[in-house]
Amino acid sequence: MIAAIARKEFLDAWRDGRFRIAAVVTLALLGVALLLAWQQVTRARAERAAAAALERENWLNQGEKNSHSAGHYGVYVFTPLAPLAVFDRGLEPFVGTTVFLEAHRQNQAAFLPAQDATAMRRFGELTAATGLQLLVPLLIVLLTFGALAGERERGTLRQVLSLGVRPRDLVLGKALGLGAALAALLLPVALFGAVALSKLPGGDVSGGWVRLAWLGGAYALYLAAILAGCLAVSAVASTARAALATLLVCWAANAVIAPRLASDFAQRLLPTPKLVDFETAMNKAVQEGLDGHNPRNDRLQAFAQETLKKNGKTRIEELPFNFNGLVMLESERMAGEVFDHHFGKLWDRLEAQDRTVTWTGLVAPLLGLRSASMALAGTDFTQHRHFSVAAEQHRRNFVRVLNEEMMNNTAGGHHGGTAGRALWEKLPAFRYDPPPPAHALRAATPGLVVLCLWAVGAWTALLLVAPRLKPN
Amino acid sequence: MTSHLFRLELRLLVRERAAWVLLGLFAAALGYGLWNGGRVAGRQREAAAALAQDTEAFQAQVRQHLGQQAIDPKAIAGRGTMAVLPPAPLPLLATGQSDLSPGHETVVLWRFAASGDTRSELENPSHLLAGRFDLAFVLVWLFPLFLLALVYDLMAGDRESGTLRLALAQGVTPWRWMILRALARALPMLMLAALGTLAAGFFGGSGGTGLRLMLALAVVLAYGLFWVALAIAVNAVARSAASAATSLGAAWVLLVLVAPTLLNVTVETLYPTPSRPELVAAGRKASGEAEKRGGELLNSFYRDHPELAPPGQQADFAAQHLTVQTEVGRAVEPVRQKFDEQLARQQTAVGQWRFLSPAIAMHEALTDLAGTGYWRHRAFRDQVTAFKKSVADFYTPKIHKRETITMADYEKMPRFVFREEPSGAWMNRASAGLGGMLAFAFVLAGLAMVNLRPARLGSMTA
């Protein structure tokens, strides 16, 4: 019985002109989005690789200079672009592309792509992900609002039920049929997209297939939850018009209002510190120590005494190495602790805000999906943080090597002698390994949990209202 | 007859509970949007005031110092002069790009080419992605939704239930009847939107923004009228209320949700932004090359400007560094300009294609009138560029000639003062958007009139 109903619904859906038009428009938009994103992401990746190569040349050809000057000359590194950004750009336009690594300071990534764009970007981005997140649910609304309410209005529901069809079978049949119509539309696209995405340069390195499989699962959960929810509304609504109105309101609340409200809510609950306050606190901690009671000069004095004692000398000039180099090493170490603490706190705060938004997904499923999708595509904040930490690690290594050179190169005066290309070559180019899929999966877990809850909740609701289907 | 029908429709509306709920929700959204926009504007005002205060304090310090002795120009030029963009004229209207575009820049003589951090505030990138719940959001996205919920069924429902014949028996033309109905039902929502817009000026506007506010009001009403006209046009042909609602919903999705993102992606594909990473790396390359030729550059500079060469002295480090940096600036400037040019091209395309969707025209007009959009930030950037030149013109000769700055120079020291765009500029842009929306509204209303001519109507009232 269920199969027969499902087949009928499937055919009905495909014969419906409105559905066909909406489906063609949606598919066309998905295709355009993927194609253009492909072009943009490939171009951006090539540009960043070229810039990194040029920057390496700059570093190697900086000429003969003092090693500490080289530390101030510094190195620029560029944020990587995850291959799956073709599917979901995520936060990529809103995080900096360029990090300046220099002595003494930990800098944030600067130059957001969105700063070099028009205000149109603030309407949201047309990507395959947003198409699936916003437009396909509308397609589902269109497909389902009349499925039960419409039959009730026309009186056909009474007829069908009088034939002895069990209400639950009818509802399940409809759900399966409409779900199959949707799947017939989306599955080929998904498969084609997956094969295409896995062919991206760099797509296979970071567990592309694992990510794609989980992405598929997340979107399937989301759409299944919406399908069941819509049918449940259609089952209880008195008229098709009422069902449509309710579903459109829910759609707008989920797709348009919820993201902004939830984001504001998270900001209010866990405010982001002001830049001025953040920098003041960090500079103060560099000068006075993390506890605020241990001025930098005192600590360095104590360090000098200790060094002299260890080497059995009484004057700094008697030390067999350049003491200034050692001081540089020590103060970098001390500053590093401060940076770890303050940036760690800031980033924890931003991640906590994002998690809050994800959990508000219990009210609006889009928020859960958005977070899971970005995490799996590798375009969420945790992955930007992973990169920032790696860049900072690179900065510390490179400053350490330069300071060690200064310490052992006793030829010159206060800052030691000069160094050349041989030393510059000793410092390896920055190579970033993106986090494994396990990291993405961990970041996506809250969103996936939210989606599972929604899917289970919506299908339970549908099964609960089904037996009580009113014929009119 | 006309006023009678209008009053009747209003009275019917007042009795609808759903209408009250919708109006209440819309009012709440407007209030929240204003409040939220006000918080953002407040933070930005504070930041700008703190920066302006810093600048003043430094000026006072310099003045006091000059009272005692002359100052080396390198000391002042090296610390830099702050250029601050004052708060927007109507910030509550739209947050716009103000949370992304930096509102200040420190102009340092020898760092023209260097590219530092461009952020002026810490922001969670997801917050930037989600966008803000400000007045512009309520007016561009939600206003049409609320409006359509009230006016989606102007005739289709009556046609469905057969009451259309009855209604038309009152001796009113169908077109006129529908216009009256539409205006009566839309009136409270339009009034609320107008009140919200005026409140943005009342609570958050600086002085002399009356004209901007009036234009914003006109734009908001025109946008509302466009959606009402669309509802009329759809109702003239729709056979049932549900199909009218579906068509209007689809129109909203296409115009508000899809068209702007499609335009964005098209514009970015047609005029791709140059690569910032490449600019950074290229700038460093130019800088390295200029540094290697430092002495040579300075000598050729003195050949061109013998009046600046220090008489019979060795050129000092500062002069050489300055020449090198000027050269770097000259080398990088064309690459940097490409960013501005390409963004200008993108913006021109958006300006031309904004008529693709009234939502784009409305958003552009609101951010423009608020002073938080592309144009005011561009005026700021252009003025900062000009300011850099006046800083260079003032300090460079002094450094080369090894002159000092004395009290006599104090008044002549370059200071940044932002000049707002001439009002004609934003008036032209906003009026074009306004005209476009009204034209669309008239075309749609005209279409409805054609479709409602008695000859075509006969079959539809049956």
pLDDT, residue A195, reads: 81
Residues A111, A108: Cα–Cα separation, whole Å: 10
For an interface test with B, give the residue of A88, A108, A120 to mutate (most B CBs within 10 A).
Answer: A120
Polymer length in residues for chain B: 462
A76/B275 Cβ within 8 A: no
B267 to chain A: which residues are within 8 Å by CB? 118, 120
Q: Please give, rounded to a whole number of angstroms, the shortest distance from the CA of A471 to a CA of chain B.
A: 21
| Cα separation values, A94 from A113, A134, B98, B126, Å | 7, 21, 14, 8
Q: Please give, rounded to a whole number of angstroms, the shortest distance from the CA of B130 to a CA of chain A.
A: 5
Res. A384 pLDDT band, cuts 50 70 90 = very high
B100/A118 Cβ within 8 A: no
B124/A353 Cβ within 8 A: yes
Residues A24, A271: Cα–Cα separation, whole Å: 43
Closest residue to B126, CB basis, from A51, A100, A357 = A357
Tens-place pLDDT, residues A31-58: 888 888 888 888 999 999 999 999 999 9
Q: For residue A279, give the chain B residue with the closest CA.
A: B122
A110/B278 Cβ within 8 A: no
Asked if A40 and A92 count as a contact pair (C-beta separation under 8 A), the reply is no
Q: Please give, rounded to a whole number of angstroms, the shortest distance from the CA of B240 to a CA of chain A.
A: 10
Closest residue to B141, CB basis, from A256, A262, A384 = A256
Residues A348, A328: Cα–Cα separation, whole Å: 29
Res. A169 pLDDT band, cuts 50 70 90 = very high
pLDDT, residue B146, reads: 93
Q: Please give, rounded to a whole number of angstroms, the shortest distance from the CA of B43 to a CA of chain A.
A: 9
Polymer length in residues for chain A: 472
Residues B299, A422: Cα–Cα separation, whole Å: 31
Closest residue to A61, CB basis, from B128, B250, B288 = B288
A107 to chain B: which residues are within 8 Å by CB? 117
Q: For residue A256, give the chain B residue with the closest CA.
A: B141
Q: Please give, rounded to a whole number of angstroms, the shortest distance from the CA of B264 to a CA of chain A.
A: 5
B100 to chain A: which residues are within 8 Å by CB? 112, 114-115
Residues A406, A349: Cα–Cα separation, whole Å: 38
A138/B253 Cβ within 8 A: yes
Q: Please give, rounded to a whole number of angstroms, the shortest distance from the CA of A89 to a CA of chain B.
A: 10
- Res. A418: pLDDT tops 60: yes
A241/B347 Cβ within 8 A: no
Q: What is the pTM of this model?
A: 0.91
User: Judging by beta carbons within 10 Å of its beta carbon (0-12, 13-18, 19+), is residue B24 exposed, middle or buried?
Assistant: exposed
A263/B119 Cβ within 8 A: no
A273 to chain B: which residues are within 8 Å by CB? 122
- Res. A205: pLDDT tops 60: no
Residues B446, A399: Cα–Cα separation, whole Å: 72
Chain A with chain B: Cβ pairs closer than 8 A = 224
Specify the residue for token string 């000057």: A69
* Strand (E) or helix (H) holding A419: strand A418-419
A240/B278 Cβ within 8 A: no
At A411 the three-state DSSP class reads coil
Tens-place pLDDT, residues A130-147: 999 999 999 999 889 989
Specify the residue for token string 């300011």: B387
Residues A459, A457: Cα–Cα separation, whole Å: 6
A51/B281 Cβ within 8 A: yes
pLDDT, residue A263, reads: 95
B257/A134 Cβ within 8 A: yes
Q: At A123, give phi and psi (nearest 5°).
A: -75, -5
B262/A112 Cβ within 8 A: no
- Res. A22: pLDDT tops 80: yes
Closest residue to B280, CB basis, from A98, A121, A146 = A98
A381/B125 Cβ within 8 A: yes
B249/A275 Cβ within 8 A: no
Residues A211, A209: Cα–Cα separation, whole Å: 5
Question: Residue B144's closest CA among B262, B263, B250, B292?
Answer: B250
Residues A222, A224: Cα–Cα separation, whole Å: 6
pLDDT, residue A371, reads: 97
Tens-place pLDDT, residues A248-272: 889 999 999 999 999 999 999 999 9
A18 to chain B: which residues are within 8 Å by CB? 246
Question: Residue B373's closest CA among A111, A120, A91, A259?
Answer: A120
Q: Please give, rounded to a whole number of angstroms, the shortest distance from the CA of A56 to a CA of chain B.
A: 9
B127 to chain A: which residues are within 8 Å by CB? 263, 266-267, 272, 353
- Res. A199: pLDDT tops 80: no
Non-local CB neighbours of B397 within 8 Å, separated by 6+ positions: B308, B403
A97 to chain B: which residues are within 8 Å by CB? 276-277
Residues A277, B393: Cα–Cα separation, whole Å: 35
B253/A135 Cβ within 8 A: yes
B99 to chain A: which residues are within 8 Å by CB? none
For an interface test with B, give the residue of A56, A122, A354 to mutate (most B CBs within 10 A).
Answer: A122
Asked if A328 and A396 count as a contact pair (C-beta separation under 8 A), the reply is no
A110/B115 Cβ within 8 A: yes
B276/A98 Cβ within 8 A: yes
Q: Please give, rounded to a whole number of angstroms, the shortest distance from the CA of A94 to a CA of chain B.
A: 5
pLDDT, residue B462, reads: 44
* Strand (E) or helix (H) holding B120: none
* Strand (E) or helix (H) holding A81: none
Non-local CB neighbours of A368 within 8 Å, separated by 6+ positions: A222, A358, A361, A362, A446, A447, A448, A449, A450, A451, A454
At A100 the three-state DSSP class reads strand
Q: Please give, rounded to a whole number of angstroms, the shortest distance from the CA of B459 to a CA of chain A.
A: 23
A124/B257 Cβ within 8 A: yes
Tens-place pLDDT, residues A364-379: 999 999 999 999 999 9
B374 to chain A: which residues are within 8 Å by CB? 118-119
Q: Walk along chain B (462 residues) and give the pLDDT tens digit of each residue.
A: 678 888 888 898 889 888 999 999 999 999 999 999 999 899 888 888 888 898 889 889 889 988 888 888 888 887 888 889 999 999 999 999 888 888 888 888 776 554 555 666 889 999 999 999 999 999 999 999 999 999 988 888 888 888 888 877 877 888 888 898 999 999 999 999 999 999 999 887 677 788 999 999 999 999 999 999 999 999 998 888 878 888 898 999 999 999 999 999 889 889 988 888 888 888 888 878 887 777 777 777 777 777 777 665 556 777 777 888 788 788 888 877 888 888 899 999 999 999 999 999 999 999 999 999 999 999 998 999 899 889 989 998 888 888 888 888 888 999 999 999 999 999 999 999 999 999 999 999 999 989 888 655 555 544
Q: In B35-141, where do the E strands start and end?
A: 81-84, 104-107
* Strand (E) or helix (H) holding A290: none
Question: Residue A234's closest CA among A281, A174, A315, A293?
Answer: A174
| Cα separation values, B212 from B34, B206, B253, B365, B417, Å | 17, 11, 29, 10, 22
The one-letter amino acid code at B16 reads E
Q: Please give, rounded to a whole number of angstroms, the shortest distance from the CA of A174 to a CA of chain B.
A: 21
pLDDT, residue B118, reads: 60
B131/A122 Cβ within 8 A: yes
Residues B306, A300: Cα–Cα separation, whole Å: 49
Q: Please give, rounded to a whole number of angstroms, the shortest distance from the CA of A71 to a CA of chain B.
A: 15
Residues A367, A358: Cα–Cα separation, whole Å: 5
Res. A420 pLDDT band, cuts 50 70 90 = confident
Q: For residue B342, give the chain A residue with the closest CA.
A: A116
The one-letter amino acid code at A466 reads A
For all residues of chain A together, what is the average pLDDT? 90
Non-local CB neighbours of A77 within 8 Å, separated by 6+ positions: A52, A55, A98, A99, A101, A391, A394, A430, A432
Other C-beta atoms within 10 Å of B37: how many? 29
At B362 the three-state DSSP class reads helix
The one-letter amino acid code at A330 reads E
| Cα separation values, A388 from A50, A92, B238, Å | 20, 14, 56
| Maximal C-alpha separation, chain B | 104
Question: Residue B100's closest CA among A122, A97, A40?
Answer: A122
Strand order in the sheet with A105-106: A75-78, A98-102, A105-106
Specify the residue for token string 């115009």: B255
B246 to chain A: which residues are within 8 Å by CB? 18, 142, 244
Other C-beta atoms within 10 Å of A392: how many? 18
A58/B285 Cβ within 8 A: yes
Asked if B235 and B156 count as a contact pair (C-beta separation under 8 A), the reply is yes
Instruction: Please list the residues that pair with A416 across neighbouring strands.
Output: A413
Asked if A59 and A75 count as a contact pair (C-beta separation under 8 A), the reply is yes
| Cα separation values, A139 from A250, A295, B249, Å | 14, 64, 12
